[in-house]
Structure 1
Amino acid sequence: MIAKINGDRALALARDVLDIEADAVRALRDQLDEGFVEAIDLILSCRGRVVVSGIGKSGHIARKLAATFASTGTPAFFVHPAEASHGDLGMITSEDVFVAMSNSGESEELVAILPTIKRLGVKLIAVTGRPQSSLAQLADVHLNAFVSKEACPLNLAPTASTTAALALGDALAVAVLDARGFGVDDFARSHPGGALGRRLLTYVRDVMRTDDQIPKVTGAATVRDALFQLTAKRMGMTAIVNDHDHVEGIFTDGDLRRVLERDGDFRELPIASVMTHAPRTIGADHLAVEAVELMERYRINQMLVVDDAGKLIGALNMHDLFSKKVI
């Protein structure tokens, strides 16, 4: 039998779910206590790794928390409690901190491994919705993730409780991140394959064109010579340099359009008479995003790269930055 959708009912139910889960997260503010600060202290003083565990829906939240810790400067991994009982406890050392997540605080597989965890001398942080549960009572620190009801109409499926646990875990990870002084550059180093990593770890030297790829002519050249470089190197510009390769100017597609407005044969015009003097330049050790910012600010599509003495060592344009996914 194909169920029929009642649009009004579906929207009303969806709004109720969002309200219930939002209320559950807001209620966590008043449930925070000194235990939260103690948990931060345990993690910061950990000489090993943070091991996060949970089963069922709490297990999914635990996996996410372990991943968040790992990506924000705290070495961490997830251990499935059932697998832990069959050998994976060997991953855990006395220098680790164990974070156990269970809404009921009575998950059989999780509670079963706690005596071994305690015998190892591992510090235990429990995240539960029941402060009087077995897990909460065995923990060195308990974080209260209690919710008054689930968003499920039957009040059975873990919904508001998992949202609350997720939010509380994020709050813990962010507080640890802040205490460590973990910054944007640190985050980029943990995410070299992501967009932020590319933006923050890519330098001008990684993007610029060098040697024979650089379009350039000397100040004695003509517009004809510059056009040859524009066409051959396909960068939309050519640099004008002196005999020692120091930059004197730039001739771009825009300059060419202005030259085309003149009457007569412009090809033999001295390039020095039509070039843009004192062009925008950047050093090779600057971040590529700085080049993007300068290009956008001054509405230009190309930049010359120079060394400290003003000698031309590279060139880049917006296409280069696009191809490297800096933009």
Structure 2
Amino acid sequence: MKNVLSALCAMFLLVSCQDSQLSEQTVDPSQKISIKIPDILTEYQAASRQKITPVTLKAALNNSLFAQSNIKVQDIHAFKAADAYTTVETVDQQFQSTLPSRWVPGDSNRDWNADGDLNDIDWVSFTPFATANGLYDAEPIYRSMYTKWQNDGYCQTVTIDEMIYDFSMGNPSLILDFGLPSTGNPIADISVVGFLPASIFEAVLGAENILGVAFSFVFVDENGDPIKSTRGKEDKAFTEVWFNDGFTWADGVGQGGIDLESVILHEFGHTLNLGHFGILQVFHETETGLSTYVYQPVNTMNALYIGESRNFLGPNDKGNFCEAWGSWPWN
């Protein structure tokens, strides 16, 4: 992996909770980029006075930002690193091979880029935030990890296409406001928003110790209920991915930081309908007070990052991918 200085390092990063007023339809790429959390979300969270969890955040998003929308947040998968407080009991859904929602082939509702190809999955990287720690250009890693999911498994049935971002596409996020024009719709099936400040994770997710998060959206009917496919799966509309730039990232395990490939491959698995898989075993050493973490079986989709390389597809990753995609485009 090549270390590069961000070509956009001159951009000023502003974090606030104020709504923006967007009037221009085009954006000068040289202008400053800001991140803003919409007032409607922060006000709802403040009024509810509930501790932020995936369940309460899902409710907050759906009752504020998406209250009048035909899509809703269905799953929020936050990827954390194991720490001294981790126990087996802290990890739920250890054998959720696939998510309850599925991308539906031929679904004209999600032709977000208007290319007419409804049997592929389109993803886009928000280039201004595609650099980790101002050092690592993540876009080549994004491409490599999606290629791995597409080509390295038992089932090679779906094409995962990259769209190249330009500012005319507008806001890549349905949750955050980057001061860019927005139609209120996604710009691709999957939006890799990129490496965001830890303060955004704290404000939205209630924690700074999250490495990455994937928000999965589904289409809903007039009653707000998820629309089901002919096979009984919820009709997936969009997935949005964030990574936490508050961590020290590294090119590989043992390089003094969090392995980029392992975390990116994991989060991309969620965008492709995979859940967490594997049992965490914790061994405590009484003399040293240290803990050793072991996953069985070893897979990219293990629920916690334990400092080991997961930049490969394990047997269960491949099998679960086939469960989700083996019959594509007939599922």
Is the TM-score greater than 0.5? no
Task: Decide which structure has the larger Cα Rg and report it.
Answer: 1
TM-score after normalising by structure 1: 0.28
TM-score after normalising by structure 2: 0.27
